[in-house]
Structure 1
Amino acid sequence: MNKPTDKKTEAWWNKPLWGDKSMLEKIEAIIQKPHEEVPQEVIEHHQRVFAELKLLTPIAKALDSSKFSDSEFLEFVKISNLFSLEIGEYKGLRNYVALFRVAVEAKDSFLKIEQIELSYRSSKQQQFYNFVVELLEKQLPSSEFITFLDQQLEKTLQEIQTEEGKNAINVYAQTLKTVAKQDDLGLRLIFLFKKYQLEDFSLLRVMSDIVQYLLGRDLGDFNDIVTLVKANEQRFEQLGKIIELPIDKTREEDYARMLQYIVLKQKHQVSYIQFQRLLEIMTQWTHFYLIVRDIRSHYSETEFTLPPEFQHNVPGLDIYLKYKNVIK
């Protein structure tokens, strides 16, 4: 067995390699040498990354807008995130608010469908309407729905005698295709109207009128929207049945939240798309900025002779500081 020794074992990097200085001491002396030159490869990397910032910043500046600091717009951004994440009182409402939104946005198409169904009642036309209901029940993707619809349309047009009747069925089919192309939910909503035998689409006109009314109002007071829902309680109950809203989500506050979102979306959707694009650009910008910041943090002015570009202000930093809390 080895005998213990009183002499402390030194780590290899602290042992003298030459003269009376250890390797660690010599490396530290080199690192801490005043006004050391920044390695050329580091400078070149900094230049490449900085060039990316210079390319992205003008795009970000063009996308930035004073609208993004508007309190109502910021409220819409917050509510959109809550619906998307289904947090708190917004839990379980995302799919239903989507149907509600389609009901309002596709109102004109729905009313046109209803008008044609009521005005043109020949046997061949009614057969076509029945075919559409059967097709809706299958809940096909929009592309498949349109394919089958076109096939049946071609057959039906050959069986209808009058030009007026043919034109009506053509318009009917084209309107259905418009709804299908806009959103798969549009077809589902038509199906739900048929399922609950609610042939009167005038409910959609009422909902659209309510949205139009609110578009001209300040939406800052949520209680005002709740009051409006209470004043139209039966209509909202009818809508809740059509979109199959769960019973625990049929409070006035639930309808008001959905209504508020739909109105804010109509008011701010264009700006919101622009805002999302800005955040995408700034996410890329942030990636390069962190590299620049990291490089510069390694080379202080007291210890290194810095190249001029290390002193340049970072382009776009003002935009970053403005939105850093929402940049992913």
Structure 2
Amino acid sequence: MDTNLKDRNVKQVSAESWYSRPLWGNQSFLAWFQSLFASKQEIPETTQAIYRDCLNSLKNISTMAKAIDDNKFNSGEFVKFLMINRQFEQNIGAYEGLKDSIDLLKIALETKESFLKIEATETRYRSYAQQEFYEYVLDLLQKKYDAIQFKELIERKLTDIIPQIKSDEGKTAIQAYVNSLEIVAKNNLGLKLLYLFKQYDLSNFALLRTVGDIADTFYDKNLDSIKEFMVMVQVNADVFLKLGQIIEVPTPKNNPETYALMLQYIALKNRHGKSYDQFQSLLGLLREWEKFYNPLIAIRQEYPPEEFKQPILFGDDIPGLAIYGKYESMVN
């Protein structure tokens, strides 16, 4: 035999047969490799369908979550507000026992102009009919009607009282008075606040202007630190201590630090209220995301690639995993 031909045959056998030579017993590498796939089980189609549905739901939720997500959710001031708001809502920590008082103060600041108009009207317009109307309002407050009943009764009384007022100015004033009452009494808490102010002295309404002006000074300031609030409260301590009696601040907490905390919370709430609502929507989506993520992971664990033939979609990245990881501690 030609030597060159013999060498070529040897090389060909060597090149073509390495994978067919036995590796373990009589089993070749090719046979072993093929056996890996031959021995893998099929994942039930119903399970694959559930997996596909979960994956599609995760994609949809992830798209909505990304649209809501905002860098401001990670700002120090916003995170501070989340921490404070949690204490406020759960009535714990520094805000324990202050929820009702803060709610009253917030309403007072939001409707302070209406409170001041009520005071001005009752002080200036003193005809017999008008004074009768003011007494009627106080009587309703003492009987503790709810906001809806209060408004209905006030409107009915206004219809009776208007013809008894002679001047157009007086009629206009009493109508404006009722409008202010209805703004204050938009809910039961506002109605309660009006009664609390009247229990003390109408002149205390002027406290609202001072406290409102103080609150406004923090409009464009950094709200992270309590120190600046403390300074403003201490300078106006007498005002806040009087106001504390009206908004029912617990006696042990009737001190400057309490009012600094209250002002800080209200300032943060005003600045981040809308962002907070958006953030709650985001957390709601991420909680919904969990409902589809958990069964998807359970399927992956139940059908590992070492034992089952994996469809291509099992290798797809999980949509929304990054954004969920970003807020996981808050979701839970």
2:311 pairs with 1:307 = yes
SS of the counterpart of 2:176?
helix
Higher Rg: 2
In structure 1, the partner of 2:17 is none
In structure 1, the partner of 2:5 is none
- 1:144-223 matches, within 5 Å, as 144-181=149-186, 183-223=187-227
In structure 2, the partner of 1:242 is 246
1:151 Cα deviation after fit: 1.3
2:155 pairs with 1:138 = no
In structure 2, the partner of 1:25 is none
1:126 Cα deviation after fit: 1.3
In structure 1, the partner of 2:34 is none
TM-score by length of 2: 0.85
In structure 2, the partner of 1:282 is 286
Paired with 2:279 and 2:135, the residues of 1 have a C-alpha distance of 45
CA separation of 1:79 and 1:102: change in aligned 2, threshold 3 A: same
Q: Is the contact between residue 179 and residue 187 of structure 1 (CA under 8 Å) also seen in structure 2?
A: yes
Q: Is the contact between residue 112 and residue 209 of structure 2 (CA under 8 Å) also seen in structure 1?
A: yes
Q: What amino acid does structure 1 have at the position aligned with 2:254?
A: T
Moved over 3 A (4+): none
In structure 1, the partner of 2:25 is none
Q: What amino acid does structure 2 have at the position aligned with 1:300?
A: P
In structure 1, the partner of 2:28 is none
Q: What amino acid does structure 2 have at the position aligned with 1:76?
A: F
In structure 1, the partner of 2:295 is 291
Q: Note the aligned Cα RMSD (angstroms).
A: 1.7
Paired with 2:302 and 2:111, the residues of 1 have a C-alpha distance of 58
2:266 pairs with 1:262 = yes
Q: Relative to structure 2, which stretch is displaced further, 218-227 or 94-103?
A: 218-227
TM-score by length of 1: 0.86
In structure 2, the partner of 1:24 is none
Q: What amino acid does structure 1 have at the position aligned with 2:162?
A: L
Q: Is the contact between residue 103 and residue 189 of structure 1 (CA under 8 Å) also seen in structure 2?
A: yes
In structure 1, the partner of 2:29 is none
- 1:222-241 matches, within 5 Å, as 222-241=226-245
Q: 2:59 aligns with which of 51, 54, 65?
A: 54
Paired with 1:180 and 1:131, the residues of 2 have a C-alpha distance of 15
Unaligned 5+ residue runs, structure 1?
1-32
Paired with 2:296 and 2:135, the residues of 1 have a C-alpha distance of 65
SS of the counterpart of 1:261?
helix
Paired with 1:296 and 1:115, the residues of 2 have a C-alpha distance of 71
Paired with 2:148 and 2:82, the residues of 1 have a C-alpha distance of 32
Q: 2:276 aligns with which of 272, 275, 285?
A: 272
1:198 Cα deviation after fit: 3.6
Paired with 1:169 and 1:62, the residues of 2 have a C-alpha distance of 49
Unaligned 5+ residue runs, structure 2?
1-37
CA separation of 1:44 and 1:156: change in aligned 2, threshold 3 A: same
Q: What amino acid does structure 1 have at the position aligned with 2:74?
A: S
Q: 1:111 aligns with which of 89, 97, 116?
A: 116
Cα offsets for 1:26-55 (capped at 9, x unmatched): xxxxxxx84211111101111222222222
In structure 1, the partner of 2:44 is 39
Paired with 1:200 and 1:254, the residues of 2 have a C-alpha distance of 20
Cα offsets for 1:223-258 (capped at 9, x unmatched): 332222111110111111111222101122111111
In structure 2, the partner of 1:326 is 330
Cα offsets for 1:128-163 (capped at 9, x unmatched): 111111111222221111111111111112322333
CA separation of 1:34 and 1:180: change in aligned 2, threshold 3 A: farther
Q: Is the contact between residue 160 and residue 166 of structure 1 (CA under 8 Å) also seen in structure 2?
A: yes
Q: Is the contact between residue 37 and residue 304 of structure 1 (CA under 8 Å) also seen in structure 2?
A: yes
